[in-house]
Amino acid sequence: MSASVGKAAAILRTFRPTVEVLSVRGLAERTGLPRSTVHHLCRSLCDTGLLEAVPRAGYRLGPLLLELGGLVIERTGLVEAVEGSTSALRRGPGQELHVGQLVEGWIVYLHRESGPTRVRMVNRVGMRAPAFLSGCGKSALAALDPVDADQRVRRLCRDEELPLPDMAALDDELAATRSHGYCVCHSFQPGRTSVAAAVLWADGQPVGALSLAGPSSTFPPARLSDIGAAVTGSARVASRRLQVACTGPDGASPATGVRTPLRLLSR
């Protein structure tokens, strides 16, 4: 049974934001499982709602995952903590609020909120990206011990067979983020800028981050310090709200205030 569960999980993990539908052949190639095994498991996963069949194309993730993911997002408390803490963040045309949770070396996006107008951006709820690429990810990494941050980046690149970034340049960027309290990132999407700050647990460890992101033209250099101060202020408010939710106003830990690192999503 445990072997079957592992194989089913391997199938589910092959799907990505850019790979939404896969055939049995494609799943077999990506997982290394025999096609007969993939076919049998896909039918079972469809019966449970974890996958759904796409006629003449293959399979895609099923609606049950959306329901389960929503429960996990609500349980972490990060999105709820951010709500009501961003009144100072005035989004201009094309700018969005993003909330992401740090999961090992990944940033997992839990929330996206558009401003008056919306422009094309790759961010979507449920998407995960290497933390060293995005503003939310870099600001969260910067809140870690530098050795821990370095190890997470190297481990992710090794496990996922990704090219290692320029670690000296990344170290400098994380150091600047620690100094300023926020990160200005241009590396995640061409023509897009994000200004991000970490949201912290009571012990000072990062749970994730929030960012204001949009076309680079909407982030003039003369305003970056003001935007950074507003983002940092919102992140501090969100941190306090999260800490109260997890420990209670008297420091006690309520039954629903469970610190949940979303480790399952890091696989």
pLDDT (tens digit per residue) in 133-142:
999 999 999 9
Shared domain check, 152 and 98: yes
Shared domain check, 28 and 120: no
Q: Phi first, then psi: give them for residue 192, nearest 5 degrees.
A: -120, 145
The CATH number assigned to the domain holding 52 equals 1.10.10.10
CB 230 within 8 A of CB 85: no
Which pLDDT does position 77 carry in this prediction? 76
Lowest-confidence pick of 25-34, 82-91, 189-198: 82-91
Q: Which of 61, 78, 96 is the last residue of a domain?
A: 61
Shared domain check, 75 and 14: no
- Please give the residue that has the higher pLDDT: either 178 or 94: 178
Above 70 in pLDDT, residue 257?
Answer: no
Beta bridge partners of 212: 97, 195
Above 50 in pLDDT, residue 258?
Answer: no
Shared domain check, 42 and 73: no
- The structure tokens listed for 229 are 């101060």
Cα–Cα distances (Å) from 145 to 28, 135, 208, 251, in that order, read 40, 18, 15, 25
| DSSP single-letter state for residue 22 | B
Q: Which among 264, 263, 261, 184 is positioned nearest to 218, based on CA atoms?
A: 184
Give me the domain span that covers residue 203: 69-266
Q: Phi first, then psi: give them for residue 147, nearest 5 degrees.
A: -65, -40
Shared domain check, 54 and 144: no
Shared domain check, 183 and 247: yes
| 13: helix, strand or coil | helix
| DSSP single-letter state for residue 41 | H
pLDDT band with cut points at 50, 70 and 90 for residue 259: very low
Say how far apart CA 68 and CA 42 lie, in whole Å.
19
pLDDT (tens digit per residue) in 179-206:
999 999 998 888 899 999 999 988 899 9
Non-local CB neighbours of 70 within 8 Å, separated by 6+ positions: none
Count the domains in the chain: 2
| Number of neighbours of residue 168 by Cβ within 10 angstroms | 8
The CATH number assigned to the domain holding 227 equals 3.30.450.40
- Which amino acid does the sequence have at 110? L
